[in-house]
Structure 1
């Protein structure tokens, strides 16, 4: 069996064997996802104790810049989706890496503050480990420019210590209560990210944005999102049968496919970015995320190529014994329809997406949240897709 074939095979029996899943999950990713709701509650409490509750802002910032990488940038995308129109949110990823970094690639990353950033703007710097001289230098640069600064980092970390020097508001990053377990050593300087880190970043970031008027959310939105994540964890738990577990069902559908993750709305777009990242990190599977209707033209060519469901299924000359089954497209459509039932008029973009998939015999799976609260909707969309990415990685 070739490595390509082995990488695409799915062990269906593993998905319905909770004990086997537990043995396979040597990094305890499923437990980490199940604890996401608890991390939100802890993060909100610690943020209030750290000074957020007593913060008296004089006005909302012109721009909120959110610097980090991985889940920290996805959290910035979520904030951009829920921010008030008068406040711009700019995710700030690393611009380069310093060669020959002593510890790891992450320690050598470099960030650059935009030239226009100044006293009217807020910089939020986030790191799950609280290390990296690049983020420290960015905070120092922002301090010299007169920016307001907030830092999300573990207490006692180098970045937390630097926050004191630049008079930043320090919001603790809540680490997972689950032991990380066995870590692969194939890429020691690029370890797999904690799968629950998104909400550990997002909780203090959203709480801060809500406090300063950069986002307007329902009262108790973060706590309600935590409750939603708890509910998802119950539905997607390892001992729930595959035919009742939406995450296991999606994992089985994704095996042997090239996923196209399409989003209908700003919150689903952030969830699509998150899902593609989780598939790459946890299942080693490349996926193409993007918003509708742009993806209809950007991805159209793949439907008529070799990946389309109807691409020469009866090719007489194909060797069915020696060749593996061809890869197929799989569309995962994430939707947010606040205040409307999922089967209401879907609009042009969703209707066209369904017709495109149907015309080319490509399977399309939809996940829709009808909740008004965007954070609860995010929890409903990212919860099962996060679990699906982990299940797929374990079963492969």
Structure 2
């Protein structure tokens, strides 16, 4: 049951948010600034790279994989970036892993002890391994760093200071960058399962900020510290716009949460950057709102998920059917397409973020004719053309009677656009979870 009234009752929201998720999201900007400062103090400012690596590999799980996706989207084609996802190793051999002495009870209660990563056979001295962990205790990541060292591969890690992974990075002559655990801690909630790794939403920024600062330092991407500071300011602004004190009618995250109730979102994206945001959105919806979501990127998704649109969860009831018995209709779950896009900034340089989920995008061929009027003294500016794949997505949704809305950002740079959309997605998922009685966060 979705309790919409809760979103406009700040005191009730605070009581429902036992884990402090909203406060954690509000600290994301401060997390970025603190992470950049700690990375500089850890030796990043003194780093003198000899050249850009041939290829970059990013290893982690959970939020670490999301950070790898975001880095790959920001890196473009300058340097190949490969994200190494974990597999499960044999628990009988997990105790042989370096970095931690494990017991049988540990193996049953901590999934991370059974995670394993493998290096591709082509990795060598010209490559770089980035190892990301919010705990620094995964034996599989420690083994991976040691294996990379035997191949002559450079190793950089982001993990808590003093952790096993940070120590292993020093042993293989790598660079350990600190992850600030104080910025990613959540209050434990009695009754929740703790046998799986739990990460705060702001942990994303605690890992991403030092990774981006390092990547800029070695020439993988071009994101100077000033851009990271701008991203931190942007997160502060989004914390005000999407925070619990903002009323629903002016809060895009609360509005989006209301519109997602009873819906199975199809998170479609228009490029690698928005695709990484969509995968993060789906992960937070599952973790904090107990809601499923399906992701895909244009134009491939128009074919790969076209069958979904014809399914039983697709078409909405025909509201024009006067004789339809509405009293006996169950509250069925319905698809809703959320199209994550970057759009052109408005002319004149005054950028106002368009993060409202309402969308009225039409291709020029679909635009309705306007009545004739007296000519203006200055001709109107030509609208930016809508990409064909986007127009096709709207036509498919209309043909199958499926709701479609766009989540757009007109920020001129990729990091700014991703920051806006990530903040909106995180806040919306948290609000949806807090206002839903089925959420694992509500008691």
CA displacement at 1:160 relative to structure 2: 1.2
Give, in angstroms, the shift of residue 336 of structure 1: 1.4
Relative distance call for 1:315 and 1:212 in structure 2 (3 A) is farther
Q: What CA distance in whole angstroms lies between the structure 1 residues aligned with 2:184 and 2:125? A: 40
Question: Match of 2:82?
Answer: 90
Report the secondary structure of 1:262's partner residue: strand
The counterpart of 1:60, out of the listed 44, 52, 64, is: 52
Secondary structure at 2:250 match in 1: coil
1:216 offset after TM fit, Å? Answer: 1.7
Q: TM-score, normalised by structure 2?
A: 0.83
Instruction: Give the deviation of 1:320 after TM superposition.
Output: 4.4
| Contact kept? 1:16, 1:241, Cα under 8 Å | yes
What secondary structure does 2:193 align onto?
Answer: coil
Distance (Å, rounded) in 1 between the aligned partners of 2:45 and 2:306 = 49
Q: Residue 129 of structure 1 corresponds to which residue in structure 2?
A: 135
CA drift at 1:11: 0.4
TM-score calculated relative to the size of structure 1: 0.92
CA 1:293–1:120 in structure 2 vs 1: closer, same or farther (change >3 Å)?
Answer: same
Which structure's CA Rg is the greater one?
Answer: 2
Structure 1 equivalent of residue 154 of structure 2: 148
SS of 2:57's equivalent in the other structure is strand
The equivalent residue for 1:6 is none
Deviation of the 1:212 alpha carbon: 0.4
Query: In structure 2, how many angstroms separate the alpha carbons of the residues matched to 1:391 and 1:157?
Result: 33
Equivalent positions of 1:100-119 (< 5 A) are 101=107, 103-119=109-125
Q: Secondary structure at the match of 1:119?
A: coil
Distance in 1 (alpha carbons) for counterparts of 2:112 and 2:258? 33
Number of the residue aligned with 1:73: 65
Residue 221 (structure 1) aligns with: 227
The answer to whether residue 396 in structure 2 is matched with residue 356 in structure 1 is yes
Please name the residue that 1:4 is paired with.
Answer: none
TM-aligned CA distance change 1:340 to 1:296, over 3 Å: farther
Check conservation: 2:54, 2:126, Cα contact below 8 A: yes
Q: Conserved in 1, the CA contact under 8 Å of 2:316 and 2:334?
A: no
Q: Which moved more, 1:357-366 or 1:32-41?
A: 357-366
1:42 alignment partner, SS class: helix
Gaps of 5+ in 2: 92-103, 348-353, 355-382, 437-443
CA RMSD of aligned residues (A): 2.1
User: Following the alignment from structure 2 to structure 1, what is the Cα–Cα distance between the partners of residues 198 and 323?
Assistant: 43
1:264-283 to 2 correspondences below 5 Å = 264-283=270-289
Partner of 2:246: 240
CA distance 1:191–1:164, shift in 2 (3 Å) = closer
| TM superposition shift of 1:186 | 4.0
Q: Does 1:163 align with 2:169?
A: yes
- In 2, distance between residues paired with 1:127 and 1:184? 25
Aligned to 2:217: 211
For residues 42 and 317 of structure 1, the distance between their equivalents in structure 2, rounded to whole angstroms, comes to: 58
Q: How many Å separate the matches in 1 of 2:304 and 2:325?
A: 29
List gaps (5 residues or longer) in structure 1.
1-8
In 1, distance between residues paired with 2:8 and 2:48?
52
The answer as to 2:214 corresponding to 1:174 is no
CA separation of 1:177/1:193 partners in 2, compared to 1, >3 Å: closer, same or farther? closer
Q: Deviations over 1:83-120 (max 9, x none)?
A: 15231001111122342625400122111111111101
